[in-house]
Amino acid sequence: MLSSKRQAFLAVTLLGLLLPFLGTAQTLAGRVTDAANATPLIGASVSWLGTSQATSTDATGHFTLAAAPAGETAVLISYIGYKPDTVQVQGRSHIIVQLRSITSIKEVTITGKQDRYSAMTPTNSQVITAQDLTKSACCNLAESFETNASVEVSTSDAVSGAKQIQMLGLDGAYTLMTTDNVPALRGLATPYRLNYLSGTYIDAIDIIKGTGSVLNGYESISGQVNVRLKDPEKSDRLYVNLYGNSLAKWDANVNTSFTLTPKLSTVLMLHTDQLSNRVDGNNDGFLDLPLGKHYNVFNKWKFNTGKQWVAEIGLQALRETRTGGQVNYRSGMPQREGSFYGTESETGRFSGFSKTSYTFKNKPYQSIGLILSGARHDFDSQYGPRTYKGYQNSGLANLIFQSAFGNTAHTYKTGLSYQYEDYKENLAGQRLKRQERVPGAFFEYIYQNSTNLTLVGGVRADHHNLFGWVYTPRFNVKYDFNPNSILRLAAGKGFRVANPIAENVASLISNRAFYFKDNLQPEKAWNLGGSFTQYFEVGERKGAFITDYYYTSFQNQIVPDMYSSPYLVTFTNLNGRSFSKSFQAEVQYELTSMLDVKAAYKYFDVRTTYNGELLRRPFIPNHRAFLNLGFATPFDKWRADLTAQWFGNRLVPSMEHNMNQHETSIMTRTVHPYAVFNGQITRAFKRWEVYVGGENLLDYKQKNPIIAADRPFSQEFDASMVWAPVIGRVIYTGMRFTLK
């Protein structure tokens, strides 16, 4: 039986989700001019992309576009005799658009290619488009980043199959994850959260470097990844994706949408993936991937009056089981010397959100909205003789009001929020529990002049029941030297309460003891940086050059020290300095009408203080490079993509005895550079697509990724020292069927 407190929590969460609540509507004002002489274009069409909601410019080229449909962040601007333009406007209330004239018109075919780096947003933002998502297997969120240079995905250990993202050289826990701009997949969901969203659920992904907006909370430190889910109003009536690979893993996905009334629509998305084949490609006696079954359902509803009210509800339920360890391990075997080592986990998760917005009549720049979200996450696992169980109840309420001071050059957003977290964890009999109740208030001011300057300044104040007042200032500047040369600067502070066990699950796949040395305090950090974007044309082919630099300095950090002793994982508060320096330079260019090129170089300098000494953070290479070649014939009948990632030298711990000391110490060693190649070929028909691809085509694998694999119950056993792929070459094939 559920406790009275848990019953009350679930009742409140479900009641909130049944109400039609949705975040702020985005009203938009701006001006459309001729790019050559800046004269206003009268009667230009401005519409929310993919909808019939539109307006036109007046005699001075100005326009005001009513509330955005929920989830829509792009507008289409068109005018007879000019090239149309698609503009990302997320977080903006005012834009200036300059259209280029078409000097000679014989027969015009318009094909839209959305700029992956937005020219309009005040933050350093990049978009992974729906087209990008079809360039790789993209069975889940982890594989959605394979053709992107800004976010990297790595394997956390050699047994569990867990993956994590990395941004600005920092672990994924420092990146705020949102779905439809609602914070999601936090806390205990962190280890496996990239598996909890199928790639077929995703319409696009927004990647924002830096601390971002105060509207989404205080947790973002390195950046934000916002997953835009399929929109019920614009989804295909039927979409089917089937996938299978050389490991005998298969996925099945079905999306179907319905328009029930002119104002009410829904999309139902189903996903399952299964692996029952025991694979041990490196012959170390351990499965390279755990056996598993995953069932996932997501249902979104949307109510849109087309005028003032927009509402959305989203509900998700999933269940996942995993069994890994030695090849001969079977579920339920005793975990002791002389038996086979095994890992098991079972996850049950239910989550939902509801958002509603109202735009004031005759005031398209003024709106009010409410976001409610809730989640219940249960995790039950065993790693050899050690058990780990946890559950988390989460609730969030966010009330946002948007308006202007005098005119739309001076707009603001303000509101109230309340966050509730209830954690209970049990690690081998060691019980941890925590309840967080955090009311807060925030204010964000946006200034945009009529030409080239945008300022965004925000601050929020939250009162944490365990840690007192938390103040979070953030500031962004965007300056356009001209329409093709854009400078952005950003500064902000982030605050988060860590979940040390969940965020270091890989360490459980060892026989190390977990030791919490200090009374652990919240993590706090400043993030400073900026970017420069240069759009260019060579031979009428478009391109973009983007470079950015970010410096993250921690005031406090929870430091998991696995390197001072081979038998312990010690968690301490930061005692000294910890920082990350991140530099990236990227060029994108349309080499021919059928070939796109993306190339990037990244440099990281990440250091943390261990036992009073400032050292390079292990496993993070200083130098990385990225290359993506995308080929497509007219009408995308044939598509081919090749992605290469190169990783430079890196330091990794070496489990060796230091003979000059009386006790064992962890030494470090340098591992050599390596490269990973992925590729895919797609053939499209009227409603069908067939694709064949490969991952890790050169079959590069880390040798002996598990320390003491032949002695899994000894003190030396450790499967968490992973720095390269554990699985070799994987060939896959699949098909997609679409009914518009």
Residues 429-454 have a mean pLDDT of: 93
DSSP character for 185? S
Structure-token match 């945009």, residue found = 448
pLDDT per residue as tens digits for the range 482-497: 989 999 999 999 999 9
For residues 285 and 710, is the Cβ–Cβ distance under 8 A? yes
Which token pair is 24?
A: 């702020």
What does the pLDDT read at residue 25? 44
Which of 600, 417, 355, 388 minimizes the C-alpha distance to 510?
388
Q: Confidence band (pLDDT; 50, 70, 90) for 69?
A: low
Residues 298-322 have a mean pLDDT of: 94
Residues 450-475 have a mean pLDDT of: 95
In this structure, of 83-92, 435-444, 454-463, 545-554, the range with the lowest mean pLDDT score is: 83-92
Order of all β-strands in the sheet with 175-179: 124-128, 202-209, 223-229, 175-179, 182-183
What does the pLDDT read at residue 75? 87
CA–CA distance, 412 with 24 (Å, rounded to integer): 12
pLDDT per residue as tens digits for the range 502-534: 999 999 999 989 999 879 999 999 999 999 999
pLDDT score of 51 more than 80 = no
Q: Confidence band (pLDDT; 50, 70, 90) for 50?
A: low
In this structure, of 112-121, 334-343, 502-511, the range with the lowest mean pLDDT score is: 112-121
For residues 520 and 571, is the Cβ–Cβ distance under 8 A? yes
Q: Confidence band (pLDDT; 50, 70, 90) for 658?
A: very low
CA–CA distance, 647 with 724 (Å, rounded to integer): 9
Strand spans (E) along 220-366: 223-229, 238-245, 250-259, 264-275, 291-304, 309-325, 342-359
Residues 549-576 have a mean pLDDT of: 91
pLDDT score of 53 more than 90 = no
Q: Which comes out higher in pLDDT, residue 99 or 182?
A: 182
What does the pLDDT read at residue 24? 39
What does the pLDDT read at residue 259? 94
Q: Confidence band (pLDDT; 50, 70, 90) for 648?
A: very high
Which token pair is 214?
A: 């105060």
CA–CA distance, 340 with 317 (Å, rounded to integer): 33
Which token pair is 330?
A: 């079977």
In this structure, of 267-271, 359-363, 561-565, the range with the lowest mean pLDDT score is: 561-565
Q: Confidence band (pLDDT; 50, 70, 90) for 116?
A: low
CA–CA distance, 568 with 560 (Å, rounded to integer): 10
What does the pLDDT read at residue 113? 52
What does the pLDDT read at residue 285? 95
Mean pLDDT score across all residues of the chain: 88
The β-bridge partners of 402 are 367, 413
CA–CA distance, 286 with 36 (Å, rounded to integer): 65
Strand spans (E) along 172-222: 175-179, 182-183, 202-209
Which of 7, 91, 73, 99 minimizes the C-alpha distance to 488?
91
What does the pLDDT read at residue 398? 97
Residues 631-653 have a mean pLDDT of: 93
For residues 210 and 123, is the Cβ–Cβ distance under 8 A? yes
What does the pLDDT read at residue 400? 97
What does the pLDDT read at residue 91? 67
What does the pLDDT read at residue 49? 79
What does the pLDDT read at residue 14? 44
For residues 715 and 567, is the Cβ–Cβ distance under 8 A? yes
Q: What is the DSSP string of 427-485?
A: ETTEEEEEEEEEEEEEEEEEEE-SSSEEEEEEEEEEEETTTEEEEEEEEEEEEEEETTE
What does the pLDDT read at residue 52? 63
pLDDT per residue as tens digits for the range 353-370: 999 999 998 888 899 999
The β-bridge partners of 54 are 47
Residues 304-333 have a mean pLDDT of: 94
Residues 201-221 have a mean pLDDT of: 93
In the chain the domains, ranked by start, together with CATH numbers, are 28-65+69-99 (2.60.40.1120), 123-430+453-739 (2.40.170.20)
Indicate the burial class of 275 (C-beta count within 10 angstroms; 0-12, 13-18, 19 or more): buried
Which token pair is 643?
A: 């992605």
